Structures are given as C-alpha cells and as structure tokens.
Amino acid sequence: MIISSRYRYVFIELPQTGSTAIRKELQEHYEGSSFLRHHSTYYDFLKVANADEKGYFVFSCIRNPLDDAVSRYLKYKTDHKGNFTNPARLQKHKGIVNYFDKRIFQFLRKSDADFPAFFRKFYVLPYNNWASLSHERFSFVIRFEKLQEDFATALRMIGIEPKRPLLVINRTNSKKREFSSYYPPAIQEKAKRVFGPFMKRWGYEFPPEWGNHSVPWWNQMEFEFCDIFRNFYWKHLRFRI
C-alpha cells in the first residue's frame, strides 16, 4: 500500500495487476510512501486511517482473469525470481496461501504439466480475488490491459501531471504468446464457468471465437456463496494463518 499526504491519495496493491511498477513509480516520483504491509487491503487501511485520510483519492488495479491464470502458471513453471525456492522469499509468505503456492509449484515441477492440466487441477471453484472487498468503492480502478493510459488518467484525476511513461517491472518473461491461445476448446467451457461471474462483474469478455456466453443463475449463486468464506478470510485471517 502506498500513501501520499501531500497529494492525498492511497494506492492499494492487488497482486498480479502491475502494482509493483506503480508502487515504485509513486514512491520515486509522486511522493508516495509505504504504509502497512505489502498487499494490504483497503479494509486494513480503514481500520487505522484517520478521518482526513479516509477522504483520500483511492485507486488500485484489476486484470482479466484469463490472463492472470496464464501468468500465474508461467511464474510457477519458471520459479519466477525464486519465489518458490528462495528461503528468504518463502519466509515472507507464510500461511495458507504459501501452502497452496508450494503445492502447485511442486506439482508442476514433478509432472511438467501443461496449462490445461494445471487449470483443470487448480481452478475448480468460481474465480475471485480480494478486489471483491472494496474495489467497487474506489475513486478509480486501473485496467492492467491499459496500464499506461489508466495510470496517467489516475494521476490527472488526483491533480498530478505524469512525469514519464510507466516502466515495466516484474514482467513474466516466459510469456511469449497471447493468453487466449493457452485455452484449447477442451477447457473453454470450464473457463467460462470458473471466470464468468468475475468477468461479468468487471466488464471483461471472453474471446469472440469462444461463442456467446451468459452467466447462468446457478453459477452466479455459486460465485456469491464462495465469496462469503473468501471475504472472511481476506478480512480477518490472511495475515494470521
């Protein structure tokens, strides 16, 4: 989380959305300072913010989950920056999330599974992330797909003229082709069920060659039911387990 008392903004860092590049840029050029833990939520911020800080401009990012899943797969597959083997990095990421990270990494290392096998095994329930806690209340949400343009828009909304283009940081270097190409027809229907409710909420669309898609009521109910437990975890347990 990055905060600036001079410019009166708070940036919430949602993983896998370009937040590392934005954090660095805000710190180096727009008087941003780290606040609370890395990847703290807006809910965490509200628990400690004063009345004035609660009125700051709040922004974050969102990303197409089809793209996010491919990027995650490739980072596990290549042990991106030693995230899953470097003892110092592992020490920073404890708890249930780290347990599943290790499990996925070990599975891919042993099986050398392709993306469809990874997707079938680890994407079972409707997808969501902790954007569900507060993102819809924010002043502005940057789309990963328009990172440069939207970051500049956010700065101008705050009252800051951008000083330079946003640098690309923490790129998944092994990603060589369009993310939709990782989804053969055999897993496209499952992808619609897993990602459909999230994509509907945030205005994303499936590739047109996949055919028309509308989220059935039972899929939406499944998504909302899972969120009851996910939101409780993200609010109360994420840094405790």
Tens-digit pLDDT profile for residues 11-60:
999 999 999 999 999 999 999 999 998 889 999 999 999 999 999 999 99
Quick check: is 198 in a domain?
Answer: yes
Distance CA 189, CA 221 (A): 18
Return the pLDDT at 5. Answer: 96
Nearest Cα to 20, choosing from 6, 1, 41, 44?
A: 1
Total count of domains within the chain: 1
Quick check: is 101 in a domain?
Answer: no
Nearest Cα to 13, choosing from 131, 176, 109?
A: 131
Distant-in-sequence, close-in-space partners of 169: CB < 8 Å, separation ≥ 6: 20, 21, 24
Return the pLDDT at 143. Answer: 97
Which amino acid, 141? V
- Name the stretches of the chain with pLDDT < 50: none
Quick check: is 81 in a domain?
Answer: no
Q: What is the largest CA-CA distance in the chain?
A: 53
Look up the domain containing 151 and give its range: 1-64+127-176+185-241
Quick check: is 2 in a domain?
Answer: yes
Return the pLDDT at 236. Answer: 86
Quick check: is 120 in a domain?
Answer: no
Both tokens of residue 241? 């387990």
Nearest Cα to 199, choosing from 228, 220, 221, 172?
A: 220
Quick check: is 117 in a domain?
Answer: no
Quick check: is 110 in a domain?
Answer: no
Quick check: is 221 in a domain?
Answer: yes
Return the pLDDT at 173. Answer: 55
Which amino acid, 226? C
Per-residue pLDDT reduced to its tens digit, 95-107: 555 778 888 988 9
